[in-house]
Structure 1
Amino acid sequence: MKSLYKITLIFGLMILVASCHNDANPNYQYFPNMYEAVSAETYATAPVDVFKNGNEAQLPAAGSINRGFEPFDYANTPEGYALAKANLISPLTVEEKNSEKGKELYEIYCISCHGGSGDGNGKLVEREKFLGVPNYKDREITEGSIFYVETYGLNAMGSHANQMSTHERWLVADYVLKLKAQ
């Protein structure tokens, strides 16, 4: 008798659960915008109410700077280079200077042109893709001038400010001075 009650109870629960399902009127949706996204057509014009005053894009607020942007006080001019060469010093402490990390970054970004020992005979110079890459030992360079050139670029060398953070550029500058001293 008890098993008949159990079977009846289970059967009744199954009917109750099955009767709640209705394909025409689905249950409540949590976060309905995840299920029914409003998609935009490629290259379609946006509705006027999406952007302020009907503009296609918003301008940043006056005086704002990009997240993570660190201002550099030296202008991208020959005078700025001379000032950086004379006055700019590394903010890294002795503990923060990491020769291994500087060497690793140098081998990623610099070795193809400047060579492993800083003699200006990297693979691209050997293959005559670039000519006139300087030897560090022949140049009068300081950590400030190296950092400046990494930040802005000079002559055929482009800027590495997008590839390396400020800290990483200082590590490479420190490593280049060690190459020059060898």
Structure 2
Amino acid sequence: MNKYLYEFIIIFLNMILFLFLESCWVDKTKPNVVYMPDMYYSEAYEPYSDPYSYNKKDKNIKIPFFSKEKTSSLYPVEGTVSRNDLFYNLINIKNKGLNYSKNIIQNPLYSSHYEKKEITIKKGKKLYQINCSICHGKNGDGQGELVKNEKIFGIPNYKDRDLTIGSVYYVITYGKNNMNSYASQLNEKDRWRVSEYVMFLKNK
């Protein structure tokens, strides 16, 4: 009987000791023992983050090019042009409507000397095959995979339509009939590239 009582006391004392040691870890949001601090606290600097972490008081390195020594992101260089304002002369194309866009026959990528026509068509082809060919077909004949499988109908052949590069850009940007806007998938420059490739297919 004394033997069982002795074992019970030993187990009970071990449990008390375990609970005591467990309660010593006051802050549960931080690791109790860090064996590899570099794995927990990265040396890398993230944009818009404080470069001085709370646990690196011994490494308070002053880096003058940080904005107020609190962020690793710098302000744009003076004179930097926003990509949203690249083609500022066409900003109001939505308010002027589709009929106005039909008068645009020159790709602003060329007028701004941004890139050559051959490069635009090459990039436009790649973007077209990813975003457009499944409905409009690889050749712009309206025979994409969705049309062939009767998942969608009424896709026109580019050659049968009165298109200009401006009207194509307008439809890609704002949508028309069953086609939704692709402005969230393609930025402004890429929409002009796709528009150029559509005109290339139409005149091919």
Q: Deviations over 1:87-123 (max 9, x none)?
A: 4632112743322111000000000000011000100
TM-score, length-scaled by structure 1: 0.59
Which of 122, 129, 132 is 1:107 aligned to? 129
Partner of 2:98: 81
Partner of 2:116: 96
Letter of the 1:90 counterpart: N
What is the distance in 1 between the residues matched to 2:137 and 2:125? 12
Q: Deviations over 1:112-153 (max 9, x none)?
A: 000011000100111111100110000000000000001001
Letter of the 1:75 counterpart: K
Contact 2:124 2:196 in 1 (8 A): yes
What is the distance in 2 between the residues matched to 1:155 and 1:33? 58
The SS at the match of 1:32 is: coil
Q: How many residues align?
A: 122
TM-score, length-scaled by structure 2: 0.53
Structural RMSD (CA): 2.8
The SS at the match of 2:102 is: helix
What is the distance in 2 between the residues matched to 1:178 and 1:153? 20
Determine what percentage of the aligned residue pairs are the same residue.
45
Matches within 5 A, 1:100-179: 100-179=122-201
The SS at the match of 1:130 is: coil
* Gap regions ≥5 residues in structure 1: 1-22, 25-29, 35-66
Matches within 5 A, 1:49-60: none
The SS at the match of 2:151 is: coil
Letter of the 2:180 counterpart: G
What is the distance in 2 between the residues matched to 1:96 and 1:129? 37
Cα offset, 1:68, TM superposition: 5.6
The SS at the match of 1:145 is: helix
Cα offset, 1:31, TM superposition: 2.4
